[in-house]
Amino acid sequence: MLLFRPTHLLVGDDGPAHTGWGLVVENGRIAAVGPLSDVAPRAGSARAHDLVGTLMPGMIDCHTHVCLSGGVNPVADLEAEGHTRRTVRAIHALAAHRHAGVTTIRDMGGPGGLDLEIARGVREGWLEGPRMLAAGEVVCITGGHACFLGIEADGPDAVRAAVRKQLKSGCDLVKVIATGGVITPGVEPGAAQMTPEELRAACEEARKAGRLVAAHAQGTEGIRNALLAGVATIEHGFFLDAETIGLMLARGSTLVPTFAAGQAMLDGEAAGVPAYMIEKIKRVKGAHIASFQTALAAGVHVACGTDAGTPLNPHGRIATEVELLVRFGATPAQAVAAATGNAARAIGRDDIGLLREGRRADLLWVGGNPHEDVHALTKVRGVWMDGRHVEGPPPQAIPA
């Protein structure tokens, strides 16, 4: 049994920061949360932990790639490095996320089942988390965006087979590529890729197996195709229009804008990020921000994802994404909810993401109050998973 008495407490919805509240943990779950006078008796004789700063849910990064290096050209790294180094680096990525206050990641695909095996290690308890949901190999068209991260499949039957293969391998979700993208040479972010029939086949197989589908979707036509097929999340969403925003509202889908990825590429022009990536991201940046602002104003659910592993976008920088959500128009409360309660909802988990009685005690203690300044999220003071304190200093970056 544990009793926490923080200066501030954020539930993980977009409600206000509470002062004078406490939280009780019992058997890895939140046993009580509320005004201290109400919850303290529940803790019995348990020693109280006074936390200067804010207690909030452990954050959830809805879009990572533990297989990707985060170097100037992760696509080239993927081809050049061996499987052994990639595996060691992926395990290091887990530590980087954990020490950034992330207690759950949703890994959005990579080759060879690496993410599935790491997720299994975490699930079985012999690898230190964060908790991990893994997509396995992404499903895309031949020569499509991110073909280096997965299976090329053409036609509904081939897509069905590819999705079934991922389900057989134990994926937690299915990732489809509905449009071109930025880091793949020779494809256009605005252009549709998988057809409506292919997307429907993927969603049908996933639904039968009780898995959600996430769509990499940047151009309007591909976003519309993905939403009509039944995906749960739109990743990136550069070119939303009134119709696609209406569809997202009607279907309760979530936008995961992943601003950190584009920003890191723009900031990395001088450092040597490939010119074709820079050219594309410059072209879409304005539309991306405008789409996010329109969607947010319309009430579309937004969740936080970093796309960690993409160029100069290392693992463990979720605070950067939260700060960008605020820079582009979210309130700090909305941005914190995007990294906690909304993120849990987006990935289909009702046992994490909010400080509510009965949920897992995945907790984050930061200095300051993120509702006053989201930069407080970089001041990680303590992380708990299932009520267990995760110790250790932040891992050192891997030299290039």
> Which spans of this chain sit near Zn ion (rule: CB under 5 A)?
108, 307
CA angle 29, 31, 35 (to 5 degrees): 130
**CB-wise, 77 or 307, nearer to Zn ion?**
307
Q: Quick one: 235 or 323, whose CB is closer to Zn ion?
A: 235
Q: Which is nearer to Zn ion, 56 or 339 (CB)?
A: 339
| Main-chain dihedrals φ then ψ at residue 173, nearest 5 degrees | -155, 170
Residue 365 β-bridge partners: 55, 382
Question: How far apart are alpha carbons 104 and 110 in whole angstroms?
Answer: 18
For the CB of residue 320, give the shortest distance to Zn ion in the complex, in Å.
15
Tokens (6 digits) for 267: 């900031």
* CA dist., res. 43 & res. 47, Å (int): 8
- Partnered with residue 21 across adjacent β-strands are 35
**Angstrom distances, CA of residue 275 to CA of 15, 48, 57, 60, 263:** 43, 55, 39, 31, 15
Q: Strand 150-152 vs strand 138-140: parallel, antiparallel, or unpaired?
A: parallel
Cβ of residue 343: shortest distance to Zn ion, in angstroms? Answer: 15
What is each CA distance from 359 to 47, 49, 333, 341, 344, in whole angstroms? 21, 20, 20, 11, 11
Min separation Cβ 103 and Zn ion, Å? 20
Q: How far is the CB of 175 from Zn ion (least distance, A)?
A: 8
Measured from the CB atom, the residue of 61 and 307 that comes closer to Zn ion is 307
Residues 233 and 110: their CA atoms lie apart, in Å, by 18
Query: Which is closer to Zn ion, CB of 305 or CB of 370?
Result: 305
In the bound complex, what is the minimum distance in angstroms from residue 256's beta carbon to Zn ion? Answer: 9
Angle at 262 between CA 324 and CA 312, to 5 degrees: 100
Compute the least distance from the CB of residue 11 to Zn ion, in Å: 29
Least distance to Zn ion, CB of residue 108, Å: 5
CB of 63 to Zn ion, least distance (A): 6
Q: Quick one: 108 or 171, whose CB is closer to Zn ion?
A: 108
> How many Cβ atoms from other residues are within 10 Å of residue 172's Cβ?
21
Dihedral over Cα of 352, 353, 357, 362: its sign: positive
- Name the residue nearer to Zn ion (CB basis): 198 or 307: 307
* Residue of 179, 149, 151 lying closest to 77 (CA atoms): 149
Helical H segments across the chain, by residue range: 36-39, 74-80, 83-99, 114-124, 156-169, 196-208, 220-229, 242-251, 259-267, 275-298, 318-327, 332-338, 341-346
Token pair, residue 376, equals 């407080």
Distance from the first to the final alpha carbon of the chain:
44
Residue nearest to Zn ion according to CB distances in the complex: 307
Q: Give me Rg for the CA atoms of the chain.
A: 20
Q: Closest separation between CB of residue 355 and Zn ion, Å?
A: 29
Give the residue with the Cβ less far from Zn ion, 94 or 140.
Answer: 140
Residue nearer to Zn ion on the CB measure, 12 or 74: 74
> Around Cβ 228, how many Cβ atoms within 10 Å?
15
Least separation in angstroms between CB 46 and Zn ion: 42
CB of 138 to Zn ion, least distance (A): 9
Of 292 and 365, the one with the shorter C-beta distance to Zn ion is 292
